Structure 1
């Protein structure tokens, strides 16, 4: 068996393993079944790629999406790994099967639907297997946020080849989901390795939705790199993509209503681009193995903290600074509660708990990262220094009296009117409607003025979030289960008032400070050469070299192949394929 450290250095160009990678690889090489929970960007794929080269036989990788498999295939082939996919869209299936039977593959990527079939099981019996790697393993659990029933059918396959070690990998699994994965895939408790969930390079920012388009346009002005904007509906995707494209930035939509060929084309364009923004529904992203996404924005509330963590985790996979912005509204929580009422009764308690956890995340005046990490059972310091609340601590005030006034106005007007009308009554704004309804005679008419008037909108938002108010089918406000305690003074309403945010208009100055030496002539020349090579080869630029490698080239200016090969991320295959070309760029810049 080849030394895994030699493989890591020669094939991938890294001097040592990171985090728990070595621990996972050692278990796999020892033939032990393992579940590795590692944050996105921690190098999960190396945990099966290195053993696939160290062991005799083929590693079978179960992956949920064809696009993800093809991204992983390109990256594996770029470093010299003998890899193939066996999917419904591959035209070389017969050739792949022949290579597999002949023992000419280190990695074979398949979807769970194929892996769980009898014919595939029979095929596996015709060659030597080194490992089963189950990627995105949270899909096996009904407790996971992205359950895929076909993952539940993998156990018979794994047990049929019981002497082949199995490695399950995920970035997103709370304690309940982890326990379920272990049980479903037949992995012992001692096989669980949890690396932690912190993504310190991602800056988390959460703000109430005011003018979503303007807020996201501000974000685009600050962030010049590739980004993903999640909208909640197909129509919302189309409308927002059209508005953002008016800036001149390349922007494309992605949702299930588009023609499949258009979706594939848009996804491929995004993967290959160094500045494109894709506006998408949440279906987009799980199949994207793009390391240089600089920002992720949510134009509405995600389904759960697990979903938020995974979706924001698509930013900054290369370890460079990235930002995650969430813009939420009280109506998001109202719609979420309606959806909970439509699911089967046995799941409602769990869904309510998930929504409550989201409410705590958006409403907190404390550290966002702390809430995220504690949700996954991980201890965390009081402050992280890289979320909006830690960087600019908000004020927290007691708005209980204003909340009581608002609830009283809802009650006295008959629970028939929306937020805007209730505000106008409290502010004493006379209108034909208030005269006709006789509401100007109510004791609540005009009882709010001065500085308190500015609290009405955030108080209404907080009451809806906390389920003290609900919207009925006609858009009117009515009491929710939390209203009574607030009205009676048995509960408080603490209101978080974020600091005023300065609008930045200068493009190219990323929040958190970009690490790329933009404007450095050698760095820009190296990027241009990388872009040229990638275009000719039909590959995304990051498959050639990550930005971090180009930064090292620009700073250290290696003059020989040997010196270039010492840079982190330059393995033997890439050194042979691209070394002379990039050395020439460095020499010309001297």
Structure 2
């Protein structure tokens, strides 16, 4: 169990976790906590946050107490740590009374390096009394943004965690999150009483993720084309806004031969658990979900995250897309976005019963999200700029960098659209307004005599699709507002006045009309196509994966917990022939070497 305090963090990194060197600020953070100081850590998903509290818990005397919001996350991390030879357990509602007593006994006897606890259980008097009787190495508060009352993952029980500093003032605390703008950071610091903590901010950049936004045309067909052409054998997550759309999309994908499963809060707990376990344990599963799915999912080989509807904020988008490519290998963040998304989210915001201060904050977040979709410059630079970074102007790995988008001067067209809204009484939706602009004489237009207004038929130079793009971009910029009438009626805003008076010019993004079949990616883009079909490397890769699957099924754990894809790829590349050589492969620690070394060497030798 407990490692001597003198053990170095680098030794634990190498011996237990199988890595030869720290990444980024990991070492500074770990040394800060080992020395007994507090830390607030902002690090992107897949950046190695867990090691920042796991290693200090092993090095320091006592047991590290980890606050984790989801049972699934606890189970996965505890399972993985046990395979790495770490003495670890969890306390949550999934345990029986006898199992709880057994874990508490281990805790009292000083047999645990780490204990994972749900926040509501941690704050119970019984748990606090137990902790007062043992040596606590540290408190780690994972997913710390859950403390933010205005955040998308707010958990009321997180606010109670300030009690840790009050009752255990000498125990170091480390709060960690992958998603926090400046206001959320301040709220975390205030609510958790971390004012004296050192702040560690790693770059939010995930260079292995390719960000792409397409104009929504036939969303289902676009999604199917994306999956079939680029990720036919990959695990992925597809996000939809409503439960109904999740069910319909999952069923439709299944009809197309894709192993798709729904996940949302309307399903029973048993079904949700079954679908989540299949996603974690099987290859090629696609989860179609609302935002109820994802937090606490640390599956490293998710190769894409697709959004069928627009997220409400950059923070939500960043966190959801961050579930792709946690292993550092190439991954996609793909989204379709259209006019209806803008209308729906603006209506939801207008009809919200939140206090004005919250509504203003949500309005700013939505505007930032819309701006991200409409920009013609580098998407990664925009994303990182939102989180306060100053990145290079072009990343070379987003759609706008790879396929530069043109803009066009559309002041006249903007004036026509805005004038049409005004001339028709500011009580009609986009489709009706486009019919008026294009001079379409429908019974409804005749009924309201809008064939007699000055804007009738003045917009025949643009197609219906082009006008929809104009209205979408005017709404995205806040020049048009959506009425709360439920029909998507448009109204002018104050910001539209300078446009109508000719005092400001307007430039629009020229939407890319994509070919029906998008070109396939280069073969190196995904893990499964990294090797040519009949190459020796492909045969070794498949043999190693088969062995990993066999072991995972025998032990009832997800395959990636045995070894990540990146570890298998390194085995293919270096072809170790001894336990010593295998121990040099990244991700092969002492415990896994002992458990699995001979079996993987057997596979490698058989392929010689």
Report if aligned partners of 2:436, 2:445 keep a CA contact under 8 Å in 1: yes
Which of 6, 18, 27 is residue 22 of structure 1 equivalent to?
A: 27
Task: Report the Cα distance in structure 2 between the residues aligned to 1:209 and 1:445, rounded to whole angstroms.
Answer: 27
Tell me the alpha carbon deviations over residues 392-425 of structure 1, each in whole angstroms, 9 at most, x when there is no partner: 1100112221121122223323334322222222
Report if aligned partners of 2:378, 2:393 keep a CA contact under 8 Å in 1: yes
Report if aligned partners of 1:305, 1:357 keep a CA contact under 8 Å in 2: yes
Q: Which residue of 2 aligns with 1:177?
A: 184
Task: Report the Cα distance in structure 1 between the residues aligned to 2:512 and 2:521, rounded to whole angstroms.
Answer: 24
TM-score (norm 1): 0.96
Tell me the alpha carbon deviations over residues 249-269 of structure 1, each in whole angstroms, 9 at most, x when there is no partner: 211000000011000000000
Q: Which residue of 2 aligns with 1:526?
A: 544
Matches within 5 A, 1:78-227: 78-91=83-96, 92-189=99-196, 191-221=198-228, 222-223=230-231, 224-227=233-236
Deviation at 1:189, TM superposition (A): 4.8
Decide whether aligned partners of structure 1 residues 76 and 474 sit closer, same or farther in structure 2, where only a CA change above 3 A counts: closer
Q: Which stretch shows the higher mean deviation, 68-77 or 207-216?
A: 207-216
Report if aligned partners of 1:402, 1:452 keep a CA contact under 8 Å in 2: no
Q: Which stretch shows the higher mean deviation, 179-188 or 46-55?
A: 179-188
Q: Which residue of 1 aligns with 2:449?
A: 438
Look up the SS of the partner of 2:389 in the other structure: coil
Task: Report the Cα distance in structure 2 between the residues aligned to 1:513 and 1:265, rounded to whole angstroms.
Answer: 27
Deviation at 1:49, TM superposition (A): 1.1
Deviation at 1:511, TM superposition (A): 9.1
Q: Which residue of 1 aligns with 2:379?
A: 368
Task: Report the Cα distance in structure 2 between the residues aligned to 1:176 and 1:431, rounded to whole angstroms.
Answer: 50
Deviation at 1:6, TM superposition (A): 1.0
Q: Which residue of 1 aligns with 2:338?
A: 329
Decide whether aligned partners of structure 1 residues 445 and 212 sit closer, same or farther in structure 2, where only a CA change above 3 A counts: same
Q: Which residue of 1 aligns with 2:405?
A: 394
Decide whether aligned partners of structure 1 residues 234 and 14 sit closer, same or farther in structure 2, where only a CA change above 3 A counts: same
Q: Which residue of 1 aligns with 2:558?
A: 540
Look up the SS of the partner of 1:12 in the other structure: coil
Which of 419, 426, 438 is residue 437 of structure 2 equivalent to?
A: 426
Which of 474, 480, 483 is residue 463 of structure 1 equivalent to?
A: 474
Look up the SS of the partner of 1:95 in the other structure: helix
Tell me the alpha carbon deviations over residues 264-305 of structure 1, each in whole angstroms, 9 at most, x when there is no partner: 000000011221100000010002111111000111111211
Q: Which runs of 4+ in 1 moved over 6 A?
A: 505-511
Q: Which residue of 2 aligns with 1:517?
A: 531
Deviation at 1:470, TM superposition (A): 3.4
Q: Which residue of 1 aligns with 2:491?
A: 479
Task: Report the Cα distance in structure 2 between the residues aligned to 1:478 and 1:377, rounded to whole angstroms.
Answer: 34
Tell me the alpha carbon deviations over residues 175-228 of structure 1, each in whole angstroms, 9 at most, x when there is no partner: 222122222223245511111211111111112222211111112111131100
Report if aligned partners of 2:426, 2:492 keep a CA contact under 8 Å in 1: no
Q: Which runs of 5+ in 1 are unaligned?
A: none
Deviation at 1:503, TM superposition (A): 4.2
Task: Report the Cα distance in structure 2 between the residues aligned to 1:273 and 1:510, rounded to whole angstroms.
Answer: 23
Q: Which residue of 2 aligns with 1:234?
A: 243
Is 1:31 aligned with 2:36?
Answer: yes
Q: Which residue of 2 aligns with 1:275?
A: 284
Deviation at 1:11, TM superposition (A): 0.6
Q: Which residue of 1 aligns with 2:49?
A: 44
Deviation at 1:513, TM superposition (A): 4.9
Task: Report the Cα distance in structure 2 between the residues aligned to 1:149 and 1:511, rounded to whole angstroms.
Answer: 44
Q: Which residue of 1 aligns with 2:82?
A: 77
Decide whether aligned partners of structure 1 residues 143 and 15 sit closer, same or farther in structure 2, where only a CA change above 3 A counts: same
Task: Report the Cα distance in structure 2 between the residues aligned to 1:587 and 1:512, rounded to whole angstroms.
Answer: 28
Q: Which residue of 1 aligns with 2:59?
A: 54
Deviation at 1:111, TM superposition (A): 0.8
Task: Report the Cα distance in structure 2 between the residues aligned to 1:340 and 1:418, rounded to whole angstroms.
Answer: 17
Task: Report the Cα distance in structure 2 between the residues aligned to 1:94 and 1:270, rounded to whole angstroms.
Answer: 31
Q: Which residue of 2 aligns with 1:346?
A: 357
Report if aligned partners of 1:426, 1:444 keep a CA contact under 8 Å in 2: yes
Task: Report the Cα distance in structure 2 between the residues aligned to 1:180 and 1:99, rounded to whole angstroms.
Answer: 35
Q: Which runs of 5+ in 2 are unaligned?
A: none
Look up the SS of the partner of 1:154 in the other structure: helix
Which of 548, 553, 556 is residue 574 of structure 2 equivalent to?
A: 556
Deviation at 1:575, TM superposition (A): 0.7
Report if aligned partners of 1:52, 1:130 keep a CA contact under 8 Å in 2: yes
Q: Which residue of 1 aligns with 2:504?
A: 491
Q: Which residue of 1 aligns with 2:328?
A: 319
Matches within 5 A, 1:270-309: 270-309=279-318
Decide whether aligned partners of structure 1 residues 436 and 173 sit closer, same or farther in structure 2, where only a CA change above 3 A counts: closer
Decide whether aligned partners of structure 1 residues 179 and 439 sit closer, same or farther in structure 2, where only a CA change above 3 A counts: closer
Decide whether aligned partners of structure 1 residues 202 and 511 sit closer, same or farther in structure 2, where only a CA change above 3 A counts: farther
RMSD: 1.9
Q: Which stretch shows the higher mean deviation, 389-398 or 510-519?
A: 510-519
Deviation at 1:467, TM superposition (A): 3.0
